[in-house]
Amino acid sequence: MEFILEKEVGDIIPQAVVFNFDQLKQELEVSLVKYQNMVITEDATKEAKEDRAKLNALKNTIDGKRKEIKKEWNKPYVEFEDKVKVLTAMIDEPIQAIDKQVKAYEQAVKDEKAAEIKLYFDETIGDLETLVPYGKIHVPKWLNSSERLSAIKKEINAIIETIRNDIKVIKDLEMECEQQMLDKYLQSFSIAEAMAEKKRWEDQVEKMLEYEKQQELKKQQEAAKIIALERAKVSAVDAKTEEVIPGQVAIMAQEDFTTVVSTDPHQQIAEPEQKLEVLIFKVAVTPEQKKALKAFFVENKIKVGRV
């Protein structure tokens, strides 16, 4: 089958539409000069309108001929175009059918190749099977017909070896954040991202330690304040204890914190002077216990002061 024109294109299409172009152009150039830079006055308005009407009529005549010629000129082309469209439509139908079958065949070939690649990967991945799914290392261009299976296998071997070595590097660091590093690495198989995760973890730990250090320092400062206050209280008690009149004991009780028990200083037995210790405490007693406690203090010559 072959498309054949019975006449050459030059013989079919007229070389030009001939009309008095040069004459008309020259006449227009002369007659239109007066309209350049013209100023319309009240007296010249009627004449200007008449000139405008003449010019519009001439323009419409010329453009009308253009449209008429174009229509006639295009008739054979439109007829030719319609016939060509019929032929191309007839050809398109089998082209589409062939194209559909070719694509189906090519897809089947790709599917078969993909299955072979996946099978080789499964046989090679070994103990990394649960960590490295095939989909994460698949390269789309492997399915192109130009990609040889032997080259693809070498590429898979290299990928698996790199992953295995990178995981070993991470584990050899023996970091507490090992799992976080592995998780980050297995997202994109980038050792750089795994190391960035290590740095992030170290920074976080450093901040936490600094925070704990500051908290401990704060506790120590608060404890020091409490100790200072207790020492101040003890000093105050010592000062008040020294003011107690010999032979009198001040008793702190639930009912009466200022009760004073008098004793006979002549009945006191001189004993070797010993170092006194100050004890601060509060007791809840019954009236009988209160009397017994007073008696105990008197009997044992214990000085008691108000807190």
Alpha carbons 175 and 179: distance in angstroms, whole number: 9
Alpha carbons 286 and 253: distance in angstroms, whole number: 9
Residue 158 shares a structural domain with residue 94:
no
In this structure, is residue 216 part of a structural domain? no
In this structure, is residue 71 part of a structural domain? yes
What does the pLDDT read at residue 252?
A: 43
Residue 94 shares a structural domain with residue 120:
no
Last residue of a domain, one of 180, 208, 236: 208
List of residues 6+ apart from 175 with CB closer than 8 A: 181, 198, 201
Domain of 253? Answer: 244-266+274-307
Residue 81 shares a structural domain with residue 167:
no
In this structure, is residue 238 part of a structural domain? no
Closest of 255, 267, 256 to residue 301, by C-alpha:
267
Alpha carbons 186 and 183: distance in angstroms, whole number: 5
Using the predicted structure, report yes or no on whether residue 259 has a pLDDT greater than 50: no
Using the predicted structure, report yes or no on whether residue 244 has a pLDDT greater than 50: no
In this structure, is residue 134 part of a structural domain? yes
Alpha carbons 166 and 186: distance in angstroms, whole number: 10
Residue 28 shares a structural domain with residue 96:
yes
At 64-121, the pLDDT tens digits run 988 988 888 888 889 889 999 998 998 999 999 999 999 999 999 999 999 999 999 9
At 181-230, the pLDDT tens digits run 999 999 999 999 999 999 999 999 999 999 999 999 999 999 888 888 88
At 143-171, the pLDDT tens digits run 999 999 999 999 999 999 999 999 999 99
What does the pLDDT read at residue 124?
A: 95
Alpha carbons 192 and 142: distance in angstroms, whole number: 26
Mean pLDDT of 109-137: 95
Residue 78 shares a structural domain with residue 131:
no
Using the predicted structure, report yes or no on whether residue 283 has a pLDDT greater than 70: yes
Residue 84 shares a structural domain with residue 169:
no
In this structure, is residue 124 part of a structural domain? yes
In this structure, is residue 96 part of a structural domain? yes
Residue with the bigger pLDDT between 123 and 261: it is 123
Using the predicted structure, report yes or no on whether residue 50 has a pLDDT greater than 80: yes
In this structure, is residue 150 part of a structural domain? yes
Q: How many domains does the chain have?
A: 3
Using the predicted structure, report yes or no on whether residue 257 has a pLDDT greater than 70: no
Residue 101 shares a structural domain with residue 129:
no
Residue with the bigger pLDDT between 6 and 195: it is 195
What does the pLDDT read at residue 269?
A: 47
For the beta carbon of residue 132, count every other beta carbon within 10 angstroms: 19
Residue 76 shares a structural domain with residue 123:
no
In this structure, is residue 5 part of a structural domain? no
